[in-house]
């Protein structure tokens, strides 16, 4: 098969594996008692199985390892090792609720594993800057995807949309490994989403969110562009991942402003603010999907035009993200006090 088309069987296998494995993980979760209980910080009203992420993880690993060219085995080995660590710690956390410090430590180790094999940001050509920045980016995005996993279909859908844009960019730029990783995540996320779309029959839990965030962070780092300079291309991953990035900053700002623990979840995310306006869960979901698609299209635009045009488009898009962010901040002030107290 043409190496540039290698992503097709990977995507198909990832989708099929997640589609077949998710019902099995749902049954295992119920038998083991790995469930999400209703509480004031969540919006679901019944116990939900919490091991769908195992299907995402296994589907991802199977799909990339089955079709891995030997030239990429070192990097893929490191990526799979990091994803395995995160899936395992995610499973333990779903069962026993580990401390934030323990989770962050494992995230850092997983990030360090891939950075040591050369998966790193190369903006400044200085390892003393690029390596810490790479570690920060990977850990931050792992948590960002985990934090948006607060509504049926949200994390899986946003991850699938982001992976689709990364896949398109990688294929058009001739990046085989990046297209493989993006295709595996896209297929796995869509296969799981069939069961997770509102009304959901299963949740991915930390296992799935950590895997999705980890691989998406790596894909974003490894994107390279033949005709556009880094002065512009750094914006492309930001726009493709606009929803989790906006949501994480919104939650952090809210928790700092309200003197709450950063790692303690609550109803302070974008989804909760849209629900407070009277939107249904599905309407909220589609609005966030639309947000993701619009900014993904902006990312495609800035890598196709001249540098001057890209800077202009990117500047306007960043200003729009800021306006959306400020509007969401304002929505928090309009929330009922009793709802904020439940956070």
CA gap 183, 325 in Å, rounded:
30
Give me the pLDDT at residue 48, please: 86
CB-CB neighbours of 113 under 10 Å: 18
CB 202 within 8 A of CB 146: no
The H or E element containing residue 48 is strand 48-49
**What is the residue-wise DSSP string for 136-177?**
HHHHHHHHHHHHT-SSTTHHHHHHHHHHHHHHHHHHHTT-HH
User: Among 94, 80, 213, which residue's Cα sits nearest to residue 158?
Assistant: 213
Q: What is the pLDDT of residue 342?
A: 45
pLDDT for the residue 177: 92
**93 in Cβ contact with 103 (< 8 Å):** yes
Nearest in space to 343 (alpha carbons), one of 265, 275, 269, 259: 265
pTM attached to this predicted model: 0.93
Strand partners, 48: 36
> Do 67 and 10 contact (CB within 8 A), yes or no?
yes
Tens-digit pLDDT profile for residues 30-43: 988 888 776 555 56
Residue 88: the pLDDT is 95
CA distances from 233 to 31, 115, 186, 246, 310 (A): 47, 20, 22, 19, 9
Instruction: Give the bridge partners for 49, in sequence order.
Output: 35
Q: Are 166 and 220 in contact (CB under 8 A)?
A: yes
Kindly give, in sequence order, each residue whose CB lies less than 8 Å from that of residue 65, ignoring residues fewer than 6 positions away: 76, 80
Q: Where are the beta strands (DSSP E) in 94-146?
A: none
What's the Cα-to-Cα distance from 331 to each of 69, 83, 232, 261, 283, rounded to whole Å? Answer: 49, 36, 32, 21, 17
Rounded Cα distance, 92 and 71, in Å: 34
Q: What contacts 340, CB < 8 A, 6 or more positions away?
A: 258, 267, 268, 332
- Closest C-alpha among 55, 306, 4, 33 to residue 204: 55
pLDDT computed for residue 341 by the predictor: 41
pLDDT in tens, the chain (343 residues): 566 678 899 999 999 999 999 999 999 999 888 887 765 555 655 678 989 999 999 999 999 999 888 888 899 999 999 999 999 999 999 888 888 999 999 999 999 999 999 999 988 888 999 999 999 999 999 999 999 999 999 999 999 999 999 999 999 999 999 999 999 999 999 999 999 998 889 999 999 999 999 999 999 999 988 777 777 889 999 999 999 999 999 999 998 888 888 877 778 899 999 998 999 999 999 999 999 999 999 999 999 999 999 999 999 999 999 999 999 998 875 554 444 444 4
The pLDDT of residue 311: 94
Cβ pair 85, 108 in contact under 8 A: no
At residue 76, the pLDDT reads 94
333 Cβ contact partners less than 8 Å away, ≥ 6 residues apart: none
Rounded Cα–Cα distance for residues 255 and 250 (Å) = 9
What pLDDT score does 69 carry?
A: 82
Token pair in block for residue 153: 């279909």
What pLDDT is stored for residue 331 in this prediction?
80
What pLDDT score was predicted for residue 46?
65
């Amino acid at each position: 098969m043409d190496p540039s088309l290698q992503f097709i069987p990977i995507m198909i296998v990832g989708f099929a594996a997640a589609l077949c494995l998710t019902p099995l993980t749902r049954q295992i979760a119920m038998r083991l008692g790995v469930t999400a209980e209703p509480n004031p910080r969540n919006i679901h009203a019944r116990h939900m199985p919490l091991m769908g992420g195992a299907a995402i993880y296994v589907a991802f690993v199977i799909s990339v390892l089955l079709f891995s060219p030997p030239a990429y085995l070192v990097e893929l080995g490191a990526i799979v090792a990091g994803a395995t660590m995160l899936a395992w710690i995610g499973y333990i956390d779903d069962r026993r609720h580990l401390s934030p410090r323990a989770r962050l430590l494992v995230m850092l180790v997983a990030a360090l594993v891939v950075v040591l094999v050369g998966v790193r940001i190369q903006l400044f050509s200085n390892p003393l800057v690029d390596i810490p920045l790479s570690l920060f980016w990977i850990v931050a995005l792992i948590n960002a995807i985990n934090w948006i996993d607060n509504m049926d279909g949200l994390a899986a859908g946003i991850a699938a949309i982001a992976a689709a844009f990364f896949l398109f960019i990688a294929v058009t730029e001739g990046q085989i490994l990046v297209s493989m990783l993006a295709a595996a995540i896209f297929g796995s996320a869509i296969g799981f989403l069939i069961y997770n779309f509102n009304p959901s029959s299963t949740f991915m839990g930390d296992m799935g969110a950590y895997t999705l965030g980890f691989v998406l962070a790596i894909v974003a780092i490894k994107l390279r562009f033949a005709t556009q300079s880094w002065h512009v291309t750094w914006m492309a991953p930001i726009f493709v991942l606009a929803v989790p990035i906006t949501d994480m900053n919104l939650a952090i700002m809210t928790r700092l402003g309200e003197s709450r623990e950063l790692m303690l979840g609550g109803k302070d995310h974008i989804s909760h603010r849209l629900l407070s306006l009277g939107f249904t869960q599905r309407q909220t979901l589609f609005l966030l999907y639309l947000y993701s698609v619009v900014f993904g299209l902006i990312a495609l635009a800035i890598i196709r035009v001249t540098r001057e045009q890209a800077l202009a488009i990117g500047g306007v898009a960043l200003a729009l993200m800021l306006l959306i962010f400020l509007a969401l901040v304002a929505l928090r002030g309009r929330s009922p006090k009793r709802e904020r107290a439940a956070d």
